[in-house]
Amino acid sequence: MWKDTPRASSPEHLPRLETDRLFLRQIDVDDLGDMVALDSDPEVMRFIRTPITEETQQDRLVQLIGRLDQDYGPGLGFWSVFPKETPTSFLGFVLLTTLDGNSEVEIGWRFNRTAWGHGYATEAAQVVLDYGFRDLALDPIVAVIRSGNQRSLAVAEKLGLTRDGTRRAYGADLPFYRLDRSTWQAQRSR
| Bigger pLDDT: 162 vs 56 | 162
Residue 6's pLDDT is: 35
Interval 87-97 mean pLDDT: 92
Is the residue at 121 inside a domain?
A: yes
Residue 148's pLDDT is: 83
8 has pLDDT over 50:
no
Residue 12's pLDDT is: 62
Is the residue at 143 inside a domain?
A: yes
Residue whose C-alpha is closest to residue 77's, from 10, 163, 18: 10
pLDDT > 70 in the chain, percent: 81
181 has pLDDT over 90:
yes
Is the residue at 56 inside a domain?
A: yes
13 has pLDDT over 50:
yes
Is the residue at 75 inside a domain?
A: yes
What confidence category does residue 33 fall into, taking pLDDT thresholds of 50, 70 and 90? confident
Is the residue at 10 inside a domain?
A: no
Is the residue at 7 inside a domain?
A: no
CB 146 within 8 A of CB 171: no
Is the residue at 6 inside a domain?
A: no
Tell me the pLDDT tens digit for each residue of 36-81. 887 777 777 766 765 556 566 556 556 655 666 667 888 999 999 9
Angle 120-134/181-189 helices, nearest 10 degrees?
110
Interval 72-93 mean pLDDT: 91
Residue 143's pLDDT is: 94
120 has pLDDT over 70:
yes
Half-sphere exposure of 72 (CA within 13 A, CB side): 23
Average pLDDT, the chain: 83
Quote the domain boundaries for residue 59: 17-189
Is the residue at 123 inside a domain?
A: yes
pTM, full prediction:
0.84
Minimum mean pLDDT range among 15-19, 50-54, 132-136, 170-174: 50-54
Half-sphere exposure of 19 (CA within 13 A, CB side): 19
CATH of residue 89: 3.40.630.30
Total tally of structural domains belonging to the chain: 1
